[in-house]
Amino acid sequence: MLGTKAIAAAVVLAVCAAGADFNGARALESARKAVALGPRPAGSAAIAKLQAMIKAELQANGWQVSEDVFTAPTPVGRVTMRNIIGKLAGKSGRAVVFSGHYDTKAIPGVRFVGANDGGASTGWLLEMARVLPSMPRKDDVMLVFFDGEEAFGEWSDTNGIYGSRHLAETWKRDGTLLKIKALFNVDMIGDKDLRVMDELNSSAPLRRLLKATARETGYGAYFPEQAGAIEDDHMPFVRMGVNAIDLIDFDYGPGHSYWHTDKDTMDKLSAKSLQVVGEVLVEVFRRLQQ
């Protein structure tokens, strides 16, 4: 018969294991709540509501919340943007970062609600906010919600990824960049027909770790050998020497026809796709903590 202490330990382990289960349906529901706010370009009233929702969810799950607020010069004038950062402290002096953008592109004449492009990453990160606090960790873990990923009009070196460019510079100045063990950026990972590309700009060691983990968790088919290079929120960090990777399915709809159109709606998303990315990156995180 188990003693009282053994029973208590078993209960704790069971609770921790349950808490570490990523729930794709719950992530999808969080994405739905974000998308219900409508178009959410940087500086809009709708994104302000989403910012409040994100901060409330992080605080409710025990995260230390901070904001990286800045005013960006854009083709439509100066726009105030906010990166939202949640942090759980570890003891190693190193950090693992999960990031994604929560803004949507402003497209004149189009009601672009960005279910996959902005909504999926938001919902996925909010589910990670519920999962990660119960997991054993030695490193700091940070969740970063980037503002201003989308360009105002045509993308260029100075128009787009405003939030990640600003935070990378901020973390370079304060020394945070040197502490980052790995950064995982997610974007457009809710597509029902999920195929996460092998992103060639990303860190080679993290690409290998991701592929091995996906294969060993039974999800290798969702991470095919389809390679391509993407300019996304990981790139300011890659350029500064950070071990960073972008997880993106950049084949959205027939002939990529849903991207940046009014067809990017909740009916195109799948809880299963969010689940796959969640389970793989939760396992990656476990391995990085060993």
Domains of the chain, first to last: 16-288 (3.40.630.10)
- The pLDDT-based confidence of 92 (bands split at 50, 70, 90) is very high
- The pLDDT-based confidence of 150 (bands split at 50, 70, 90) is very high
Residue 51 has pLDDT above 90, yes or no: yes
DSSP annotation of 77 reads E
Mean pLDDT of 268-287: 98
Cβ pair 230, 185 in contact under 8 A: no
Rounded Cα gap, residues 15 and 150, in angstroms: 39
Q: Which two tokens stand for residue 281?
A: 């990156």
The dihedrals phi and psi of 197, each to the nearest 5 degrees, come to -75, 160
Cβ pair 48, 39 in contact under 8 A: no
Residue 183 has pLDDT above 70, yes or no: yes
Cβ pair 68, 92 in contact under 8 A: no
**How confident is the model over 156-180, as pLDDT tens digits?**
999 999 999 999 999 999 999 999 9
Residue 255 has pLDDT above 50, yes or no: yes
Residue 17 has pLDDT above 90, yes or no: no
Give the contacts of 214 (CB within 8 A, at least 6 positions apart): 220, 222, 223, 280
Mean pLDDT of 268-286: 98
DSSP annotation of 43 reads T
Give the contacts of 160 (CB within 8 A, at least 6 positions apart): 149, 150, 151, 231
Query: 10 Å Cβ neighbour count for 112?
Result: 24
**Entry field: residues in the chain:** 290
**How confident is the model over 192-247, as pLDDT tens digits?**
999 999 999 999 999 999 999 999 999 999 999 889 999 999 999 999 999 999 99
Percent of the chain residues topping a pLDDT of 90: 92
Residue 225's SS3 state is coil
Separation of CA 221 from chain center: 21
- The pLDDT-based confidence of 62 (bands split at 50, 70, 90) is very high
- The pLDDT-based confidence of 95 (bands split at 50, 70, 90) is very high
Q: What local confidence, expressed as pLDDT, does residue 15 receive? A: 34
Cβ pair 260, 112 in contact under 8 A: yes
Q: What local confidence, expressed as pLDDT, does residue 184 receive? A: 98
Mean pLDDT of 274-282: 98
Residue 28 has pLDDT above 60, yes or no: yes
Mean pLDDT of 115-122: 98
Q: What local confidence, expressed as pLDDT, does residue 6 receive? A: 37
- The pLDDT-based confidence of 20 (bands split at 50, 70, 90) is low
The dihedrals phi and psi of 72, each to the nearest 5 degrees, come to -105, 135
Could you give the strand order of the β-sheet that contains 95-101, starting from the edge strand earlier in sequence? 64-74, 77-88, 140-146, 95-101, 180-187, 244-248
Residue 144, beta-bridge partner list:
85, 99
Rounded Cα gap, residues 166 and 68, in angstroms: 8
Average pLDDT over the chain, rounded to an integer: 94
Mean pLDDT of 101-116: 98
* Closest residue by Cα to residue 81 from 48, 113, 46: 48
- The pLDDT-based confidence of 18 (bands split at 50, 70, 90) is very low
